[in-house]
């Protein structure tokens, strides 16, 4: 931006456009970093259980993120008590991660269910767990696998794990046969 400010009038139109595009991308990266840091800070605050219509929460989250690749395979109880905001943030982070790290055009699925008062949301996609990260490192802040293709900063899984813990649950990853599944498991109560 400083170069544009100082020498913009001496640059040709293509070079100015290129520099503006770079500045825009860097601004978006900073926005994602700040958003991730804020979500992480919120994870340490107390959670608030409320009555949630889970099918709507899942559909709304998918609609906000999806480019037409996400299939919802869910048959959970319609209403339950949990922290809707926390569950939505974790689901959004898992979907964003799956879409960014799976082959273009490959499907991503969301499965949901409740068993013994435990809500399980699983996001599955084609791909592999990073082989350069230990499982415990996978959920650390600013962790990115060596095969990462996206411009993320490595906060989504960390924020998700912290939110899961704040709800008394877990976030786990399993990879096998070219598929990766991340599962959020949190206590809930039927409404």
Return the SS3 of 171. Answer: strand
CATH number of the domain at 108, please: 3.30.565.10
Return the SS3 of 166. Answer: helix
pLDDT in tens, 135-181: 667 766 665 555 555 556 566 788 888 888 888 999 998 888 888 89
Residue 97 forms part of a structural domain: yes
Rounded Cα distance between 54 and 120, Å, is: 11
Residue 24 forms part of a structural domain: no
Q: Which of 103, 28, 112, 25 is nearest to 69 (CA)?
A: 103
Per-residue pLDDT of the chain (191 residues; tens, 9 = 90+): 666 666 667 778 887 788 778 777 777 666 666 765 666 566 555 568 889 888 899 999 999 887 678 999 877 667 888 888 889 989 998 998 888 888 888 999 999 988 888 999 999 999 876 665 566 677 666 655 555 555 565 667 888 888 888 889 999 988 888 888 999 999 988 76
Q: Which of 79, 81, 75, 97 is nearest to 152 (CA)?
A: 97
End-to-end Cα spacing for the chain: 53
| Beta-carbon contacts of residue 126 (< 8 Å; ≥ 6 apart) | 102, 103, 106, 107, 178, 179, 180
Residue 62 forms part of a structural domain: yes
Indicate the number of domains in the chain.
1
Residue 30 forms part of a structural domain: no
| Beta-carbon contacts of residue 49 (< 8 Å; ≥ 6 apart) | 81, 82, 83, 189
Give residue 175's pLDDT.
Answer: 84
70: β partners:
108
Which domain, by its residues, includes 97? 39-190
């Amino acid at each position: 931006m400083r170069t544009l400010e100082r020498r913009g009038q001496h640059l040709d139109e293509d070079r100015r456009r290129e520099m503006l595009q770079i500045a825009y991308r860097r601004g978006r990266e900073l926005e994602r970093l700040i958003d991730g840091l804020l979500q992480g800070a919120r994870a340490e605050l107390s959670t608030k259980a409320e009555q949630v219509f889970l099918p709507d929460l899942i559909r709304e989250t998918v609609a906000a993120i999806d480019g037409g690749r996400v299939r919802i395979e869910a048959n959970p109880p319609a209403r339950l008590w949990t922290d809707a905001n926390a569950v939505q943030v974790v689901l959004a982070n898992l979907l964003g991660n799956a879409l960014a790290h799976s082959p273009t055009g490959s499907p991503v699925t969301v499965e949901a269910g409740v068993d013994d008062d435990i809500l399980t949301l699983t996001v599955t996609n084609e791909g592999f767990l990073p082989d350069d990260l230990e499982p415990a490192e996978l959920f650390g802040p600013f962790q990115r696998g060596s095969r990462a293709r996206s411009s993320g900063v490595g906060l989504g899984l960390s924020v998700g794990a912290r939110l899961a813990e704040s709800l008394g649950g877990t976030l786990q990853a399993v990879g096998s046969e070219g598929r990766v599944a991340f599962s959020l498991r949190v206590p809930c109560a039927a409404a």
